[in-house]
């Protein structure tokens, strides 16, 4: 589980790379307020080492709530910048600070 950020020099964006280790999982995706919580818009690619990885460019000077969807179960990343309570889910969401 990791999140890496690469701030782009050419535009006010940050390339955020999500990595999730789940050797037994069939699918992992990232859903958040940056993609209207759609569970199919940011699927992570399964690598040979069992990790899932994917990237998205997001505008800087923003914060975004997100969670992973691992085989249809919602989970948080321990490496999120922060966490906020979500009444709808009855759980916390991870937060990205850019």
DSSP string, 18-84: EEEE-TT-S-EEEEEGGGTT-TTSSBPEEPTTSEEEEEEEEESS-EEEEEEEETTEEE--TT-SEEE
Give yes or no for a contact between 25 and 71, defined as CB atoms under 8 angstroms apart.
yes
pLDDT of amino acid 88: 85
For residue 1, pLDDT over 80 is answered with no
pTM: 0.92
Place of tokens 């992570």: 44
3 state SS of 73: strand
For residue 68, pLDDT over 90 is answered with yes
């Amino acid at each position: 589980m990791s999140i890496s950020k690469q701030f782009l020099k050419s535009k006010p964006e940050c390339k955020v790379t999500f990595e999730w280790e789940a050797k037994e999982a069939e699918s992992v995706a990232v859903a958040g307020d940056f993609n209207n919580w759609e569970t199919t818009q940011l699927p992570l690619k399964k690598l040979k080492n069992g990790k899932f990885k994917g990237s998205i460019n997001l505008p800087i000077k923003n914060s975004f709530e997100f969670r992973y969807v691992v085989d249809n179960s919602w989970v948080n990343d321990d490496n999120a910048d922060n966490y906020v309570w979500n009444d709808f889910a009855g759980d916390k969401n991870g937060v990205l600070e850019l």
